[in-house]
Structure 1
């Protein structure tokens, strides 16, 4: 009975939140493709959440099959004239249909319509993230603190640079900072990389160079990660912690800004990965996402929605990478087509898709291995 209860708790605590979040993100992404594709006059054969055998589905009046499939790790929109879920053109089939039918295929659409249809998926993910953040900011507000130092840790980078309690941080590398969180966000992705912080002390301004230390920290759930820190702390007296409320328009702007922070943070992490300042073991796969979904579920709906927004930005960004089989790979082909005045050859596309598929598969295997290593290493 104990094992059964543990299994039930695992399913309801981790699997269910994970599937709900992932289904939302996949549905919105594919809906972007679907809506712009329909608007472009492209006939759509299937809208699928998941891969593999169909669990349930229905066919609408336009002939589109809407379905949920066994493997819930993604989804696709299949257009008329596609050979598979990756939108690989079925050239043999295209040779046998009439010009009228070809005009309804994805390949038969104008270049800008194909590009818009492909780009709509990632864009839908960005819009979803902005909307979620906007709702959270409008409903719950946002806790902020001024970038004023309350304490400097001994032997830290800040202490060595000469920062003192009551110093106000004005800018880092020329970028203004308005809150203590702005400082934390900027410093955390720059371990072992020299930065210059401008401070205000007794009405005078000083520029202090320092190098954030790469440090392993644990969050409230015990998950470990490496970030850069300089060793400063604020408190209520120095930082003036307060809750800021936003109107609808302001909330949307803040949602867009928060989404942009995730994008820039992702690129900063990748740059650190290439230069060796951060380890690749922080790349997570489906197991880690499921764990995070379960952990956020214990904190309430707002935490789950925040995770969904972060993942939505990540999915949109990943799909824009110029890798064949991803949306960015298709856009890369369309850019080449626009420059050449004709599409990339079928044989070249086939080779590129195979290479792209292998790259994505290797990334998934690597991320999953990181997940397994985290739990059993």
Structure 2
């Protein structure tokens, strides 16, 4: 089922869609589990760089950023928004009907409403006690602050986050699942993509029945038809499709005698085996397919597992030195391969997207700073020692890890450019 009229523009569109879906699902995993834990999610973003579209729904701003790579879920407590309010600032506050502060106006006095008051900040606690003390004309007054109060600066509102709404204010278990949910969502997506492939295109069965017999091929010329059951080849009984493939692939150019069953009757026919460019025997026939839900689900699970093990093996080869950094592909190489697979058909593109999703999930689980796996490693240490690691030290480790990650991406990108454009 090839994509119609897929040119370079279509390839770019396929790349954007595939990576957009992978990133969206990854960030959605983080977002849903963070919301479930009660964490205030300030932003759900697709892409990196400047914002080109934004819309706010509830407590969260949903944004689309300029560069179609990556994404983020910005959780309360992970940014310095509370540093906007400082002692000795001249501010205004607006209160609700019961006197709780709903807006803290950092640019100065309020709008002149009956409940607006201005003064100098003496002290505040926006994480625990939720109060704010102002010096108003030489008199200190303490106000209760609404847990969803807004800090307002230059016309932009930022909701405060009491400790129980911040990432750091949650239990180790809640934080673990909020982080782990991103990579987990990528594995779930891969499974669903494989299931979709099985439902649409069928799941190959390892049984000795012929599927599609290609017109003009050796099997068709010998009179074999779809649905025929192969009993034996050259007198050797076969019980699976794998055995048929093994015998045929090792017999390029030979004539093999097939015994098969059709409509309850057994027949014998000679088949002249062809060969491909690698001198592998071919008779131009596929194995039979099934669309049974149970088999499709099993196919989805086994394919996800098999590709996961294959990628883990490749990662192991990288760490043992069997594979060098020059053999790695970066964003350029992955984008190029995605465009090529898109031109080969939807089924191939879906399978490639599933493999990329597994790659993204596994890569993020590596215990490296700045990755989800690195954050999970810090949580594991916190659970063992019974107290969190100093946030500044953890932040520095993640910063250094991010810098290393960017350097690695630059190196593999340069490798891709040399491989695809300078050779």
**2:134 counterpart residue number:** none
Change (3 A) 1:232 1:324: farther
Pairing 1:121–2:182 present: yes
Q: Residues of 2 paired with 1:32 and 1:72: CA distance?
A: 19
Per the TM alignment, residue 44 of structure 1 is displaced from its structure 2 partner at its CA by: 0.7
Distance 1:182 1:46 in 2: 53
Structure 1 residue 33 corresponds to structure 2 residue 30: yes
Distance 1:354 1:249, change over 3 A: same
CA distance in 1, matches of 2:235, 2:376: 51
Structure 1 residue 137, shift from structure 2 partner: 1.2
| Residue 95 of structure 2 corresponds to residue 98 of structure 1 | no
- The superposition leaves residues 335-377 of structure 1 with CA deviations (integer Å, 9 ceiling, x where unpaired) of 0010000011123202211221122112211221121011123
Q: Please report how far the alpha carbon of residue 288 of structure 1 lies from its aligned counterpart in structure 2 after TM superposition.
A: 1.5
Task: Please report how far the alpha carbon of residue 70 of structure 1 lies from its aligned counterpart in structure 2 after TM superposition.
Answer: 0.5
Q: Judging changes above 3 Å, is the alpha-carbon distance between structure 1 residues 141 and 114 closer, same or farther for their aligned structure 2 residues?
A: same
Deviation digits for residues 5-29 of structure 1 (CA, Å, limit 9, x no counterpart): xxx953x133211111110000000
Structure 1 spans left out of the alignment, 5+ residues = 1-7, 148-164, 171-176, 184-219, 221-230
- Cα deviation code 1:98-122 (max 9, x no counterpart): 2261100111011100000000000
Q: Structure 1, residues 84-109: CA drift from partner, whole Å, max 9, x if none?
A: 8xxxx98998x952226110011101
Give CA deviations for 1:305-348 in whole Å, capped at 9, x if unaligned: 11111110100010001112111111101100100000111232
Instruction: Give 1:291 deviation, angstroms.
Output: 1.2
State the SS of the aligned residue for 1:103.
helix
- 2:92 is equivalent to residue 83 of structure 1: no
Name the one with the larger strand percent.
2
Counterpart CA distance in 1 for 2:237 and 2:369 is 48
TM superposition shift of 1:144? 6.0
RMSD between superposed Cα atoms in Å: 3.4
Q: How far is 1:182 from its partner?
A: 12
How far 1:140 sits from its partner (Å)?
0.6
Question: Structure 1 residues 65 and 92 mapped into 2: Cα distance closer, same or farther (>3 Å)?
Answer: closer
Q: How many residues align?
A: 292
Greater length-normalized contact order (CA 8 Å, ≥ 6 residues apart) = 1
Aligned-pair CA distance for 1:304: 1.6
Structure having the larger proportion of residues in helix: 1
Decide which structure has the larger Cα Rg and report it. Answer: 2
Query: Given the alignment of the two structures, is residue 56 of structure 1 paired with residue 66 of structure 2, yes or no?
Result: no
Structure 1 pair 181–358 and aligned structure 2 pair: CA distance change class (3 A): farther
Verify: 1:66 aligned to 2:62, yes or no.
yes
Q: 1:114 to 1:300 in 2, by over 3 A?
A: same
How far residue 293 of structure 1 moved from its aligned partner, in angstroms, is 1.8
- Show the counterpart of 2:381: 336
Over 3 Å counting, the alpha-carbon distance change for 1:249 and 1:42 in structure 2 is farther
For residues 145-197 of structure 1, the C-alpha deviation after alignment (integer angstroms, 9 at most, x for no partner) is: 689xxxxxxxxxxxxxxxxx999999xxxxxx9948999xxxxxxxxxxxxxx
Kept after mapping to 2: 8 A contact 1:50/1:71: yes
Distance 1:107 1:346 in 2: 10
Report matched runs for 1:267-282 at 5 Å. Answer: 267-282=312-327
